[in-house]
Amino acid sequence: MSDNKPDVFGSYQEFNKEVSNSERTAAEEMAKRTEEQIRLRNEKLKENENLAKKNDENRAKQYVEKPNTYSNTSQNEGVEPKIPMSFKETISLPQMNQAFDVIPLPSAGKLYPTKKKNIKVAFLTTADENILTSPNLVESGEFLEILLNRKILEPELRYKDLHTGDRDAIMLWLRATGYGTEYPISVLDNNGEVFSTDFDLSTLKTIELGAEPDFEGLFYFKMPLSGDEIKFKFLTTGDVAEISAWVERDKENGLIVNNESTYILLKQIVEVNGNRDSRFILNYVNNIRILDSKKLKEYSDSIESGIDLNVDIKTPGGGSINTFLPINANFFWPNARV
């Protein structure tokens, strides 16, 4: 297929005769502003990429086991002391001495280095409720991260490493085993009126992976237009949080363009035609054809594992409506005023 585009508007000379100097000046100014916006966007993407790389390196360092320097035994003499943990880190420690069960992951563990199909998760206790009903924690949005880090009894797996579908499965298990499967919700009926009902969490269906990942947990896709061969991953909760932070920072910096879709691709695409260079992928993400991007998203969505939160709710009038199961702070603490 030729890359030459039809001359829809005629020759430049003919067009140039028909526009005034003021129109031509305005067009040139618009082109300059557009070029500047693209330049600023690319700089922001690169800045965010470097920040993400630095964060990944810092997180990787946290997995390196260090000697216990709080001990006074001679074997630890001369060892550099650990940095004291913050309050958030302290209450986020896995509760290894609590009762637990082993639950299956929708991803079957294929997205993680350990490949564990099932993980140990501790039951909710009154200690969790006492800590996590703190208004400050709830308002900060950190309570879910703290809660899951306390309950997941797998040292190599933390909240930010979780695939979002696996996170949802753990959330639902904790809620169902902590308070029962009946979940009170408020939804709108077909007439726009709010009504309250109980939803049975045990009826939610698990969605398994629709394709087999490679040993790294990556998936293959061939772009329909360009023919480029892509390897991509599913986003983790940590990825989602970073993307949200980037979008908010763009707003604070006065950027008009919403780059969320580009940020998602930047996080998701790991390899292009065998190339994993970060600069190359950044440039590639900025120039993906629209149809290729759309088809990649459609394919990714179609094979992603998790919990199907699209539910049918019976209305008081005897009908039913299809909606997305609402989840908020009261999902975990139905009796707490938070």
User: What is residue 129's predicted lDDT score, i.e. its pLDDT?
Assistant: 80
Phi-psi region of 318 (alpha: psi -120 to 50; beta: other; left: phi over 0): left
**Residue 315 and residue 186: Cα distance in Å, rounded?**
11
**Residue 312 and residue 322: Cα distance in Å, rounded?**
4
Q: Is the pLDDT reported for residue 74 higher than 70?
A: no
SS3 285: helix
What average pLDDT score do residues 149-172 get? 94
User: What is residue 27's predicted lDDT score, i.e. its pLDDT?
Assistant: 57
pLDDT band at 66 (very low <50, low <70, confident <90, very high): very low
Q: What's the predicted TM-score (pTM) here?
A: 0.72
Helices (H) and strands (E) in the chain, counts: 11, 11
Give the tens place of pLDDT for each residue, 179-226: 999 998 888 887 888 888 899 999 999 999 999 999 999 999 999 999
**Of the candidates 240, 238, 237, which has an alpha carbon nearest to the alpha carbon of residue 264?**
240
**Residue 73 and residue 17: Cα distance in Å, rounded?**
89
